[in-house]
Structure 1
C-alpha cells in the first residue's frame, strides 16, 4: 500500500508531521521512495528537531565544504578533515528555516568537542582564539547554506543573546595589561561580533533564495541592523516581521532602517514588536499604515509607550484578527484612546495583560463611586453586593440559574443592546470591544501580579489589577461568542463577571485570579462555580494568599461544567490532602482528565500515584494554555 502512494501525497502527509521527529525517522526505513521524500522535512529546519546545541549537524555541514574552503580554514589554524566521502543527500540544500543563533551556538559546541577530542589545538596564549575560529566557521557555513538552498522561507538574525555572551567574555577574561576603554571594547565587538551578517545578500545564491522569504526576525545592535535596509530591496514578500529590541543594548538599529523593510512589503500579515521605546515605536507604528489592508496580527511585547507614542495609525488596520499588548509600560487612557474609534470587526483575539501605565490623576482624585456598574441589568446599583458577600441576598436568581441552552441574540436586541452600551462604555477599550460587533472569541485581560509593589497603592483606570467594570459589561453584551477569558476578579467587578459568565454560554477556557478579599468567601466561590458556562473545559484558578482546603469544596462541589483540565499553577501549598479531595471531586464530575499544579508542591509520589488512577495526567510544570477549536 505504501508503494502505491504518489510522491505528492507523501509530501502532504510529511508536511503535517514535519515537527514529529520520531515519526519522520521511522518513515526513513519504509523504502527508498519514502526516504527520499521524508529527508527533506528532517533537514528543512534541522536545529529545531535536534537537541540544542547540536554539534552533529555542524559536523555534517562541514563535510560539504569545498577543498578551497577547507584549505583556507586550515591556513587559519582550523583543522578540517579533508576526506571526500560522498554523502547520499545534499543536506544543506534542504534548509528552509535558518536561525543564526542556532548555527552559532552549535558551532561553538562543535569546537569545544573538537578541543576535548584533541582534533583542534587550543591556543591558550591567544586571547579569544575560540571566538575567532567560531566566527570563521560560521561565516563559511552561512555561505554554504545560502549557495545550496533555492528557497528560504524563514530567516532569523536575532543576535541579542549571542552579543550578551561574547560581551561577558570580554569583561570577564580581558587581559590586565589592556585598558578597559570604550575604544578597545568596540574593537573587540568589531573583531568578534556579527558585522558580517551585512554581507549575506552578497553571498552567491543569496538573492535568489531571499526573494522567497516569508518570515524575518531581527534582534541586534546598531551595526548589524543595516541588514534590514539591504533586505528591503530583495525580500518584499514577507508574511511575518518580528523585531526585538534589547533593554540593555547601548545602541539600537536606526528605526528608519526598520521602517524601510516594513514599508517595502507588498502584503504583510503579522508584525511582532518586542520591547522598544519612544525613539522607535512612533516610527514603526506609523509605518503600519502602509500595511493596513493586509495586516491581521499585531503584538507589542514589553514595549514602552511612556513618552509620546500614539496608536492612531492602528485605527485604519480594519482587518486585524489578533491584537496583543503584553507586559507593556505607559498604556494610560490617553495612549489607548484612539482605539475607541477603531472598528475591528474581524478581531478574534485581544490581549491586554500585565501592562502598567502612568497613574491617571483624574481617577486618583475622583471619589470612590467613579467606577460605575454599567451596561447590564443592574445599572446604577453600585452596592449590589455590599460590604461583604456573606448574608447578602443573591444578585438575581434569574442570573444565577440561567439555562444552559443558548440562542444567539436577534438583530433587534443586538442593536438595542449596542445603543444602550454606547452611552455607558466610558473606557476606550470598552468602546473598542463594543465596535468589534461580537467577533471576539479570545480575550485575556491579565491576572494580578502580586510581586509588583505599586506606589501608594494607587491604581490607574484601566491598567490596575482588575479591568474596569465597563469592559466586562461590554463583553457580556457584545461578545456572546467568547471561547477564552482571562481576568482578575475583585469584589468591585464580581457582578459583571457573573453576568459575563451567564451570557457567554460558549466559553470553554477560563483563567481567573482572585484577591485576598475573596479568597475565603464561601458565597463568592459557590456563585462563580454555579455560573460556569455549560461548555467550560479548561479552568485555571490563581489565588492570592492562603489557598484554603474548603475552597475546593465550594468550587468543585457546585460545578456542573464538564471540566477536562483543572489548573492551580501558583498554589504551592497543595499537598496529598488537597490532591485527594480534588481527585474525589474529579470522580464525581466524571470528565476531568488533566490536573496541572505549581512547579513546587507538597504532593508526595504516593499521592501522585493515587491521583493518576483517576486523572490521565498530573503535571507540576506551571500553567498550560490549550487551544480549542473556535
Structure 2
C-alpha cells in the first residue's frame, strides 16, 4: 500500500512551484490533498496568469471570472441577474473551495481588466457596458474584502484605458497588508479606509498625477511603523508636495526608487535617508540633474545598489558620488556612455558583483581594467554593435580577464551580429579550461538585428556546449529586459 506524504511536507514541496503555474496546475489532478494544497498556492496570486497562459489570456480571464461569479453570495448573484448580467459558471453547485479566501494579492485593475475583456463582445452602448463592468467589479471586490482574512499586497491604479468607479468597502483583511501599489488620484475614502487599520506597510509604490496629493494619502504614509521600500513615479505631475511626509521615514527606508519626466523633480532630500541600501532613479528629461550636485558629496554608508536607467546626471557628479560610496556597492547600472565614468568604476567600486555600463568602440581596455579591479564581479551586461564593442572582443576578454567568481554574461547587440561559429567555439573552449570551472550563464537580449541565435552554426555550437555543461543559454526580449532588469518597478 502506497504511503502518503504528510500534508506539511507536501505543502513545502509544492511551494517551490509557486512561479511554475503550469506544473502546479497539473498537481490539481493527483488527489484531493494535492488539489487542496495546489489550489491554495495558485490562488494566492491569481493575477499573474499571463506568465503561463501567454497565448490564451481571454480564455483564462473567462475561467477566472466565472469561478469568481460562482463564489459570489446569493445576494450579489441576484443583483447581477436583475441587471441582466449572465455569466456562465463552471457548475450550478457551490464551488469546491472558497477561492477568494486564498488570495494574498489583490489587484483592482486586474479585476476590472478581466471583467472588461470578458464583456467586450456583449452588444451594448458604451455607458451601459461601463455600468455592467463596474457592477460586476464592485461585487467581486466586495466578496474579496469580506473573505480575505490576511492580505499581503494590494494594487490599485487609475487607468485611463479602463473606466473605474469602485466603491472600496471597509477591509479588515488589509490589517496585515505589507505592500501597497496605488495612484495619488484615487478617491480619498480609499486612503482613509486603509489608514484606519493598515499601519505595517513595508513597501509603498505611488504614481502621482497632476500634483494631486490628498491629506488622506499623507496620513496613510505617516502612520506606517516600519516602512522599508518607497517608489515614487511622476510623469504628469510632481511628488514634491509629499516630501515632508516621506522624510519622516528616512531612518527606516532602505530602498528608494524615483521616476519622472523632467528635471524639476527634486533629489536633494535623498540625503536624509541615512540607511539607504538601494537607490534607483530615472528621469526622461533630466538634462542637468543639478539637484544631484548636492548628493554627490553625501556618504551613504550602507548603499549596495545604484541604478540610473535612461538619462544620467553629469558624469562628474556620478564619479564623485562613486568616490564617496563606491566601496560598498554590489550592483551598479547606468545607461551612460562615458570613458572617465567607466574608469571610475574600476577605481572606486572594487566589491561589485553585478555591473552594466556602456563601452564605446575601442574601450576594451577599460573592460579589462574593471575585470582586474573588481575581483568579486559575477555578472555584467554589455552592449555590442557598430558604435560599441564587438562580440568577439567581449568574449575573448571575458574568457581571459574576468575574475574567478564571474558566471553571467548578458549581451545586447544594437546592430547586426557578426560573431562567427569559430569565434564562439573558441570562447567556449577557453571558458571550459578556466581554473574556476563555473557554468556560464549566457543571456542574449534579443532585438531586431540580434541574429546570433538565428545563425544555425552558432546555435549548434551553443547546444553542443550546453550539453557538455559549459554554458546555459537564456534569451530575453529587449523591452522586457529593460523593465525587469533596469527599472525593477512594477504596477
Q: Is TM (by shorter chain) over 0.5?
A: yes
1:58 paired with 2:58, answer no
1:446 paired with 2:335, answer yes
Q: How many angstroms apart in 2 are the aligned matches of 1:153 and 1:524?
A: 44
SS in 2 for 1:13: helix
CA distance 1:526–1:595, shift in 2 (3 Å): closer
Q: Summarize deviations over 1:141-163 as a string: whole Å, max 9, x none.
A: 11111111111111101232xx2
The aligned counterpart of 1:481 is: 351
SS in 2 for 1:56: helix
Greater Cα shift, 51-60 or 495-504: 495-504
- Asked whether the 8 Å contact 2:386–2:414 carries over to 1, the reply is no
Shift of 1:595: 5.7
The aligned counterpart of 2:446 is: 598
Residues 182-201 of structure 1: matches in 2 within 5 Å? 193-196=163-166, 199-201=167-169
Residues 30-41 of structure 1: matches in 2 within 5 Å? 30-41=30-41
Q: TM-score, normalised by structure 2?
A: 0.81
Q: TM-score, normalised by structure 1?
A: 0.64
CA distance 1:611–1:258, shift in 2 (3 Å): farther
* TM-align CA RMSD: 3.6
The aligned counterpart of 1:110 is: 118
Shift of 1:336: 0.9
1:227 paired with 2:218, answer no
1:92 paired with 2:100, answer yes
Q: Which has the higher strand share?
A: 2
Q: How many angstroms apart in 2 are the aligned matches of 1:597 and 1:507?
A: 20
1:574 paired with 2:421, answer no
The aligned counterpart of 1:118 is: none
Shift of 1:355: 1.4
Q: How many angstroms apart in 2 are the aligned matches of 1:326 and 1:580?
A: 40
SS in 2 for 1:23: helix
Q: How many angstroms apart in 1 are the aligned matches of 2:379 and 2:290?
A: 31
The aligned counterpart of 1:139 is: 138
- Asked whether the 8 Å contact 1:318–1:344 carries over to 2, the reply is yes
Q: How many angstroms apart in 1 are the aligned matches of 2:395 and 2:143?
A: 62
- How many residues align structurally? 460
Q: How many angstroms apart in 2 are the aligned matches of 1:11 and 1:43?
A: 14
CA distance 1:298–1:593, shift in 2 (3 Å): closer
Q: Summarize deviations over 1:257-281 as a string: whole Å, max 9, x none.
A: 543332221111111122346x532
1:355 paired with 2:311, answer yes
- Asked whether the 8 Å contact 2:268–2:294 carries over to 1, the reply is yes
Q: How many angstroms apart in 2 are the aligned matches of 1:80 and 1:523?
A: 60
- Asked whether the 8 Å contact 2:412–2:444 carries over to 1, the reply is yes
Shift of 1:487: 1.1
SS in 2 for 1:435: helix
CA distance 1:21–1:523, shift in 2 (3 Å): closer
Residues 328-347 of structure 1: matches in 2 within 5 Å? 328-330=284-286, 332=288, 334-347=290-303
Q: Which residue, out of 348, 366, 370, partners 1:500?
A: 370
SS in 1 for 2:135: helix
SS in 1 for 2:198: coil
The aligned counterpart of 1:383 is: none
Q: Which runs of 5+ in 2 are unaligned?
A: 433-438, 467-471, 486-491
Max radius of gyration: which structure? Answer: 1
